[in-house]
Structure 1
Amino acid sequence: MPNYLVFLGTARESTPPAPARLGLRVARACVQLLEADGATVELIDPLAIELGAVFKPHFAYAKGRAPEALDDLASKIAAADGYVMVSPEYNHSMSPALSHLLNHFGSSLFAFKPSAIVTYSAGQWGGARAAVAMRTFLAELGCLPVSAMIHVPKAQEALDEEGRFQEDPDRWAGYFGRTLGQLSWWAEAAAEQREKQDPTEVSPAFQRAPDQRNAP
């Protein structure tokens, strides 16, 4: 049974925009569709995680000294088979709430697993421009995004507060399903290959310092 994390890329509870936390509807739709396909899924909400006022990534702490919330999420990231990244668009790029959360963790936790890009908006574009920037971000993080993406324009009309499609549910489910189906296919393939060979044997993990990335 595959295990996925759905990362919610909004931490705003105020309006505008209205309704508040529109992305939660989109994230819940992803959770429900993946669970209906037999997966175990957890929604990761940045509002539920205490990151601290000063940025310090999980890997920068001495062993055993990281905050419990970061340790718990690091363990969940390492154990997951794939990831769904749900984001609105900010200045033609991804949500700062999402990038800030993800930047707390090293790429070795995400590596050799797939991800899916899901964007949304209250307007007509569905956050599509954010998705372009997310491709390079997620590739560098190690969880390569699948080719199909999900864009939800006027998400407040498409989904209710529980993440249920309000009109044309079969059409929307099919649209989401193309991307989530790719995610599941690659997640299963990657899991099988990890059983055959430890990926760190062919590409050692970066776990010590950023200068590990430097070329000779």
Structure 2
Amino acid sequence: MIDEPLRLTVIIGSTRVGRFGPTAAEWFAERARRRSDVDVSVVDLAECWLPDVLNHDDQPPRPVRELAPWLGDADAFVMVTPEYNHSYPAALKNAIDWYFDEWRAKPIGYVSYGGVAGGLRAVEALRLVFNELHATSVRTTVSFTNYPEVFDHDGQPIEPKRYEQAADEMIDELIWWGDALRRQRARVPYPGTQE
């Protein structure tokens, strides 16, 4: 049992009109909120207005500064991502690249969706990026193959058991890693972290 609830931030990685990301994110967040050891928040990149281009000014733009505390306070993350051309959306990469310390020494989980591959190629690409940022990707993912056929009109999976099992396993892994890394960050700063 952990001392205090894990602060889990779910990030909706697609900003396209008509996207499925909010449905998948809300389903996962609702599942996680059933637990007393997790405090869940959802960040929708479509509402963050992050600039598309990194600047070289001394101070980041206001939207970047406003999102930073939300990410910095999180103990763990879940990226909700579609698969676009065998990878993840540009808006998600842009959001990842604006930050560095906010991701370090924190666990990352993935909820993906797509066609036959269920977004798993996007997840594999994200694992490489987050490894470079010193984050820890958990093993278990939730993947919705051919997602338009999987969800009903109320935003719930038609056959929920297999997705619920994967979500619960992923949450367990996020809690284990999140608590361990939170304790270690409090004890000893992660190498290279600015104090």
Normalised by the size of structure 1, how large is the TM-score? 0.80
Give per-residue Cα distances to partners, 1:114-153, cap 9 Å, x unaligned.
00122101x2220111121111011112221011222111
Q: Structure 2 counterpart of 1:168, which letter?
A: E
Partner Cα distance (1:51, 1:111) in 2: 20
* Aligned-partner Cα distance in 2 for 1:145–1:7: 15
The structure with the greater share of residues assigned to helix is 1
Give aligned pairs, total: 190
Q: Contact (CA 8 Å) 2:25, 2:80: kept in 1 or not? A: yes
Shift of the alpha carbon at 1:160?
Answer: 4.3
Alignment-derived partner of residue 212 in structure 1: none
Q: 2:22 pairs with 5, 24, 28, which one? A: 24
Look up the match of 1:8: 12
Residues 162 and 77 of structure 1: CA distance in aligned 2, closer, same or farther (over 3 Å)? farther
- Which residue, out of 133, 138, 142, partners 2:125? 133
1:169-209 deviations in Å (ceiling 9; x for gaps): 2332112211222111110111122232222xxx11279xx
User: CA 1:192/1:161 → structure 2, altered by over 3 Å: closer, same or farther?
Assistant: farther
Give unmatched runs, 5+ long, in structure 1: 14-19, 208-216
In the TM superposition, residue 61 of structure 1 has moved relative to its aligned partner by 4.0
Name the SS for the 1:41 alignment partner. Answer: strand
List structure 1 segments (4+ residues) > 6 angstroms apart after TM superposition.
none
Q: Secondary structure at the match of 1:164?
A: coil
CA distance in 2, matches of 1:30, 1:67: 31
* Mapping 1:37-186, distance limit 5 Å: 37-38=35-36, 39-52=38-51, 55-56=53-54, 60-62=56-58, 65-106=59-100, 108-121=101-114, 123-160=115-152, 163-165=155-157, 167-186=158-177
* Residue identity in the other structure for 2:43: I
Change (3 A) 1:49 1:157: same
Instruction: Report if aligned partners of 1:89, 1:119 keep a CA contact under 8 Å in 2.
Output: yes
Residue 197 and residue 163 in structure 1: after superposition, are their counterparts in 2 closer, same or farther (change >3 A)? farther
Paired AA for residue 56 in structure 1: L
Structure 2: which 5+ runs fail to align? none
Structure index of larger Rg:
1
Deviations 1:30-64 (A, max 9, x none): 211221123222211111012235x126xx443xx
The sequence identity of aligned pairs, in percent, is 26
TM-score, with length taken from structure 2: 0.87
Q: Distance in 2 between matches of 1:27 and 1:78?
A: 20
- Larger relative strand fraction: 2
Give the distance between the partners of 2:12 and 2:152, measured in 1 at CA.
16
Contact 1:27 1:163 in 2 (8 A): no
1:213 corresponding residue in structure 2 = none
**Counterpart in 1 of 2:193?**
205
Please report the RMSD computed on the Cα atoms of aligned residues, expressed in angstroms.
Answer: 2.0
